[in-house]
Amino acid sequence: MNRRNILWSTVSALGAAFAASRAKAATEKAAIETTRSDKLKVVYHLADAEKVNFVLGNIQNHLDGVGGPDHVTIALVIHGLALKAFHRAQANPDVSKRVGDFSKNGVELAACGNTMKAQSVTLADLLPGFVSAEKGGVVRLAELQSQGYLYLRP
């Protein structure tokens, strides 16, 4: 009788250990799949006028590389001299087209409120799709980073 109890206890303990390890593996697998399914969030920082086309190209390459906007959330924060490239009256056709495409693809286009004041422009003076980063471009960058956005300044 004693052997039977020992054998039964051993088999029960092994079964419980096996069940616990399977539950742990399933939980870990679910956590990994959840992490993979979350969209990557990236914020691009643009302040240099000479880098406008380069940064816009990077954003397009990023969208193309991950399979489109369903797989990534992108924000572009612009301040300083770079904002002049996005003035409706001055924007070249390539910049206008890219901004329109990005806007349609859900890219947040944020213009620094301080730069807008310094350049005496309003949202109506910028290409369609822009929002104002009223507290400032650097504040918006910090807000997005605190929300889990990865920071890129090409």
DSSP E strand stretches across the chain: 40-46, 72-78, 108-112, 130-133, 150-152
Give the type of residue at 89: A
Query: What is the assigned CATH class of domain 39-152?
Result: alpha beta
CA distances from 53 to 48, 134, 145 (A): 10, 25, 24
* Number of neighbours of residue 86 by Cβ within 10 angstroms: 23
Compute the radius of gyration of the chain from its Cα atoms: 26
Task: Indicate if the pLDDT at residue 61 is higher than 50.
Answer: yes
Q: What is the pLDDT of residue 34?
A: 43
Tell me the pLDDT of the chain averaged across its residues.
86
Instruction: For residues 101-121, give the mean pLDDT.
Output: 97
Q: Please give the share of the chain, as a percent, with pLDDT higher than 70.
A: 76
Spell 48-66 as b/e; 16+ CB within 10 A means b.
Answer: eeebbeebbebbeebbeee
Q: What is the pLDDT of residue 123?
A: 97
Task: Indicate if the pLDDT at residue 93 is higher than 90.
Answer: yes
**3-state percent breakdown (helix, strand, coil) of the chain, nearest 5:** 60, 20, 20
